[in-house]
Copies of this chain bind each other. A is one copy, B any other.
Amino acid sequence: MSGRISDSTVRRLSLYLRMLRDLERAGVELVSSAELAERAGATSAQVRKDLSLFGSFGKRGRGYLVGPLSDTLEEILGLDHAWKVALVGVGKIGSALLGYRDLSPRGFDVVAAFDVDPSKIGERVFGLSVRSLDELGETVSARGVEIGIVATPPQVAEDVARDLARAGVGAILNFAPVELGSVDGVPVRTVDIVLELEGLSYVLAAARRGAERSREGA
């Protein structure tokens, strides 16, 4: 079983799980790899391969049992219990995240929020009172926070990430537009909105260049 699992496989597992939950809610009991593949934007072989990296969960000739597979994926993804999350940086994105209702039902409980701005400290944002950045280490350790979210300006993102790592966080989600790779051995995933837009810009520009070239009759 399970050797080194690629990031893209993990992404797809999340997508499969989402679909399985929908199917479960709809009362469907059995699903084939082809059906799962369809909505996740993958192929049936891919679905089977992804799942087979962790074990044999299907019934030959029939498909997969929705409930049990759903449970198995939750366990594999570590979603069978809630994670404690701390947010650093209560600016626009930070506040939006605090107000985002889908986090805790999905197993991510934001239990603390930090900022440097004195005018924000003590304020309640969506029911959570903002603490001073100075308390970060202490609070994170004391409450056993497992995941940190960095929503600060890029200049301080790396320092904040390091503080979170030192305080004992095991993984970091970074919204600042800087590549952090991993800090002090703690894995970081970066969500970089401008980078995504630039990716789309490339596609548009490339299409435009292609259109011109064919107009020229190359």
A contact set with B: CB distance below 8 Å: 2, 5, 7, 10-11, 13-15, 17-18, 39-41, 75-79, 83, 85, 92-93, 95-97, 99-100, 102-103, 106-108, 146-147, 170-173, 177, 179, 181, 187, 189, 191, 193-208
CA–CA, A197 to B106, complex, Å?
10
B179/A189 in contact, CB under 8 A: no
B41/A7 in contact, CB under 8 A: no
Please, could you name 12 A-B residue pairs with CB atoms under 8 Å apart, sorted by A? A10-B202, A15-B195, A92-B99, A93-B100, A97-B193, A106-B197, A108-B201, A147-B204, A170-B207, A171-B200, A171-B201, A187-B203
B15/A204 in contact, CB under 8 A: no
Which residue of the partner chain, among B173, B177, B181, contacts A200 with CB atoms under 8 Å?
B173
Name the CB-closest residue of B to A85.
B197
CA–CA, A14 to B202, complex, Å?
10
Give every chain B residue within 8 A of A10 (Cβ-Cβ).
198-199, 202
A83/B201 in contact, CB under 8 A: yes
A194/B5 in contact, CB under 8 A: no
Give every chain B residue within 8 A of A147 (Cβ-Cβ).
197, 200-201, 204
Q: How far is the CB of A107 from chain B (nearest CB, A)?
A: 7
CA–CA, A199 to B196, complex, Å?
18
Secondary structure class of chain A's binding surface, majority of residues: helix
Q: A41-B179, A179-B41 are in contact. Are A173 and B197 (CB under 8 A)?
A: yes
Which residue of the partner chain, among B7, B41, B96, contacts A181 with CB atoms under 8 Å?
B41
Give every chain B residue within 8 A of A108 (Cβ-Cβ).
194, 197, 201
CA–CA, A177 to B198, complex, Å?
21
Give every chain B residue within 8 A of A97 (Cβ-Cβ).
193
Name the CB-closest residue of B to A14.
B198
Which residue of the partner chain, among B5, B181, B189, B202, contacts A78 with CB atoms under 8 Å?
B202
